[in-house]
Structure 1
Amino acid sequence: MASTHPEINRALVLHPGGAFNYQDIPIPTIESDRDVLVRIVATGLCGSDIHYWQHGKLGRYEVTQPLILGHESSGVVVATGSNADGLKPGDHVAVEPGISCNVCSYCRSGRYNLCRSMRFAATPPVDGTLCTFYRVPAQCCFKLPENISLRDGALVEPLAVAVHACRLGGDLQDRAVVIFGAGPVGLLCCAVAAAFGASKVVAVDVVEERLSVARQYGATHTCRMQDVEGAESMKNLVGLDADTGADVVLDASGAQPCLTCGIEVLAPGGTFVQVGLGKPAMEFPIGMVCDKEIVFKGSFRYGPGDYKLAIGLLGSKRVDVDGLVTHTFTFSKAQEAFQNVVSRNGIKSVIFGPE
């Protein structure tokens, strides 16, 4: 199904060494009956974007050629193939930025986030979404209800990360959940845990300003790491059972002290979910893991159903993200957005545009 659109695809391009420039690149064409062409309207900035800009690499992925960043995006459908799951020009959508192979054992078993052939936006050498037009398969486009703005549609991606992490934590109904790290993903984990029925949601961070807003996103208690001397002190401060502790711990910080304290504060038989990434290797209290017989899980992006559930939580207002986006930038000021994130101003920065 064809649609008319301006014949310019403006992109913000990162070059090896950290320099940005704007370029006009070819507009993607509809190549499959399931292809969807989206005009990008809003893009949130993620820590991985900042890593590639400042350090040129993240894990095993390195910026060795020009790369378009951005993967937390929403937009408007401008063209589709003939078999695009009912999508049509004008639909507002959240874009899932990973395209899996759909045929490997991981994809076929419902764990496509582990697909070794995954093409994930803004992960070298795959270009991201900070451009005018972006093409994805229909299964990567999720229609937004009318009560979800395109700005909030850009938050579906990090919200899906939080949904996936909380689902890994198991049944959270009437459970005590401790979440380390009160950045965007940590705050969204608080909101999802509360929506999933947790009776106690404890947000832990070192920055008072972040904790001051955590209660808006579902936290029943907050704790500054520097105000406690260890797990027992933390339990006492936030009212956790002294003999057991938290039923579930989510670490969205990736910091060594949080990993250690999180395992200490976890109840025997509890579940620990590692959400945030820090140093590639850290000290690990394996003796305590065995002694408590806890379940330790890694969390990687999101999987089947996570995007749909994230949109459902937003649409029903069971998760309210008002106030999470504290800074917005036009596309021409995109580099200022990157610097704003580095300066740790506010919570979430979103770039609107191009156009």
Structure 2
Amino acid sequence: MPTSTQSDSSKATSKQRSIQRKVDAKDRAKTKPKADGAMQAGARKYPAPPFPAQHHPKPGEEWAIEPAPLYDAPFWRGSGKLEGKAALITGGDSGIGRAVAVLFAREGADIAIVYLSEDRDAEATRQAVEAEGRRCLALRGDVGNRAFCAKAVARAVKELGRLDVLVNNAAFQIHSTDFADLTEEHFDTTLKTNLYGYFHMAQEAVAHMKPGSAIINTGSVTGIEGSKDLIDYSMTKGGIHAFTRALSGNLVGKGIRVNAVAPGPVWTPLNPSEKEAQDVSQFGAKTPMKRPAQPEEIAPAYVFLASPQCSSYITGEILPIVGGY
């Protein structure tokens, strides 16, 4: 004769199996859904993979990319969040940098952009900023060179009259699938652009910044998760995150906030000039949203972190924008 414990156990087992049968029956009755498309939660529909297979020479030029990255955010209405301020944006000719320049201008800031050699893209950005009614200074040079960084900051301050926001955004990225193939030249170029460039620009800019100013660094999801094919790039982006936190503590006494945005895949010249053509066609497809971000989807985070109206109590933070986890 079963004990009360055995009886209770049998009842519990029967209950679980009864629940299981009901769930199984519902599962069998369901029509299997079609594969979901890319998530569209913005003000307009954004492009999704597959993209045209393409591979562009470094440093990558926005005018040559298909489809063209979306940067102008026509749905964004400025409200004076950066009125009367001046911002210096490295890598400002294209991609995230261009979108940030346009939104900063729409919020009332004058802009200086730094770019490597993409004259056509830089001119397009200058025109886009001026169309917002603000001044735009375009400075050509290598942020890995300390002397250039000093000259760029000095000229921006002289021509714009002040410097309130620094956006460190210039980057070099190219894959190395086999770790043994990562050359010292490759490694050094990545560090010079992504770490030295941020350090040089920040050190030069801080000397001109007053309390209430802000530095915003562009990190990356690779600096959080790592990427097996981007060891050097991942290392620099993790370094940028640490640099952001450390510098924020150092500059608290000066009233200068320091934060970082850490994007996931974004449709900019950086990746079509980094990946092989077939990989570019599927860029961003593995995110939960099944597409890369467009630059105009990332730029509002920079407005938020630049504006003392929005983020006066935020410093030393890393803001991931990665399309879901």
TM-score for the superposition, normalised by structure 2:
0.40
Larger Rg, first or second structure (1 or 2): 2
Higher relative contact order (CA 8 A, sep 6+): 2
The structure with more strand, counted as a fraction of residues: 1
The structure with more helix, counted as a fraction of residues: 2
